[in-house]
Each structure stands twice: as structure tokens, then as C-alpha cells.
Amino acid sequence: MKLISWNVAGLRACLKKGFADFFTRINADIVCLEETKVTMEELEFKPEGYEIYLNPAEKKGYSGVAVYTRIHPLNVSYGMGVEEHDHEGRMITLEFAEFFLIAMYVPNSKRELVRLDYRMEWEKDFREYLQKLEKQKPVIFCGDLNVAHKEIDIANPKSNLRSAGFTIEERTEFSKTLELGYIDSYRYFNPEKVIYSWWSYLGSAREKNIGWRIDYFVVSKKLEKNMKDAKILNGIYGSDHCPIELDLEI
């Protein structure tokens, strides 16, 4: 089973940069997209053989997540059931026979960390949601998690200690989530590899490879033996992020 996640920074914009060709070529069973910025009425990309689930933000042209799946889910839910968090189109949960899959786009703490307190609430509430699901069956969650967990995951750690996505608060919260019994799948297979999944549009950052690894497939330890590989497809363009991949044997 091949799973893909990609923050496309606007699906309509990404379609103009080769997204459809990538989608066909990668031939994945499930594709999760973040920052889609479309409603179902605006969604033009509807490939044959895939069911489509979309959670748009109430604010037009903002945020949004989508899932394309060849495998029919047993159940689908939107958001985490917390009123404060469920207006920005940030989460879809699909239940399959062997696991839950959460496609998610975690809130950014923003410049000057104006949303850091809100982000801390999100992290706490997400862990509670995660633990409820895990009592039923293993969970995989993926997407733009807006955190570079370790210094290896960011090109310039020392100058970014108070930057959104690399604060000690955000990194500690991610550690707490992993400690519940989850695996950062890319680091599992590549413990020392320096590679990024997001680059600023400023200063030719991608050309210089001055980036951050903030996109993840995080897998319940109950599925550790099912994981076969995890990849960051940093040769794929079309967004300021690149796609990531998880290969499972289910």
C-alpha cells in the first residue's frame, strides 16, 4: 500500500505545475493533500478510480485538506469534534479495516508567534483525539505538521529558535505525541539523513536547499512491522513543499 501526503499550497495552482502528471505517475493507493484552498464545487481534479473526501475551511481560499483513496473507507469524519478547531478545514479521519488515517494540516504559530498559545491548545486536544482512536485500532496521521522536530530537520537551527515551527514549545509537544507510542516514519528508516520538505519562496531557498522537514507520516508502533519504507520526494516541484511517501504492507 502506497500513501502520499503533499501540501500543495493551492490545488488549482499546483495543477498548473504538473500535479495531475505526478498523481498518475506515483500511482498511490491514498493521496492526502493539505492547503487545498478549494470547495467541492471548485474541485476540478477527479481522477477515475478514486473516492474524494474534502474538508474546506469556512474562510474561502484558505487552508483545507483532501483525501483521494482507491480503498473505500469504513467511515469518514471531519475535524476532531472540538468547536474551537473545526472551522479551518484542517483534518479528515478515514477508518479502514486495519487502521485509522488522519490527514491533517496543523495550524502555524505565525510571525511573532501570535498563534502559539492556540497551537498549544490544538496539540493537547489532538492528543486526546488520537488516544480515543488508538483504543479502537492503530492510527497513522500525516500532513504538514508545521514543526521541525530536531536540529537535523532544519537548515539553520540556531537562528530559528523563536521561529514558528521550531520553538521549543512546538517541538516538545510533538515529542509528547510520539511518546504515546508513535513513530516518525522517515526518521525510522533514515535516522541521520539531512533532507527537507519545505523551503521558503524567499532568497532562492530551495535552490540553496535551505529548508525545513515539517511534513510527516507518523505511525502507531502497533504497525511498526507493516512499515516498508518512507520517502521525501524532494525532486518533485509544484509547491513550496514536496510530497512525502509511506509504503505499508497490509
Here the cell at position 35 is 492547503
Decide if 108 contacts 145 (C-beta within 8 A). no
Closest to 198 measured CA to CA, from 210, 211, 185: 211
- From 53, 144, 215, 216, active-site residue: 144
Indicate if the alpha-carbon torsion angle 221, 226, 229, 234 is positive or negative.
negative
Indicate if the alpha-carbon torsion angle 142, 144, 145, 151 is positive or negative.
positive
For residue 12, CA distances in Å to 29, 31, 94, 216 come to 22, 16, 24, 23
- From 50, 53, 105, 186, active-site residue: 105
For residue 104, what are the β-bridge partners? 91, 143
What is the distance between the alpha carbons of residues 247 and 250, in angstroms, rounded to a whole number? 10
Here the cell at position 44 is 476540478
Kind of pairing, strands 75-78 and 65-69? Answer: unpaired
Any catalytic annotation for residue 144?
Answer: yes
Q: Is 234 helix (H, G, I), strand (E, B) or coil?
A: coil
What is the distance between the alpha carbons of residues 205 and 203, in angstroms, rounded to a whole number? 5
Any catalytic annotation for residue 184?
Answer: no
Cell 483525539, residue located: 129
What is the distance between the alpha carbons of residues 112 and 93, in angstroms, rounded to a whole number? 31
- What amino acid positions are annotated as catalytic residues? 105, 144
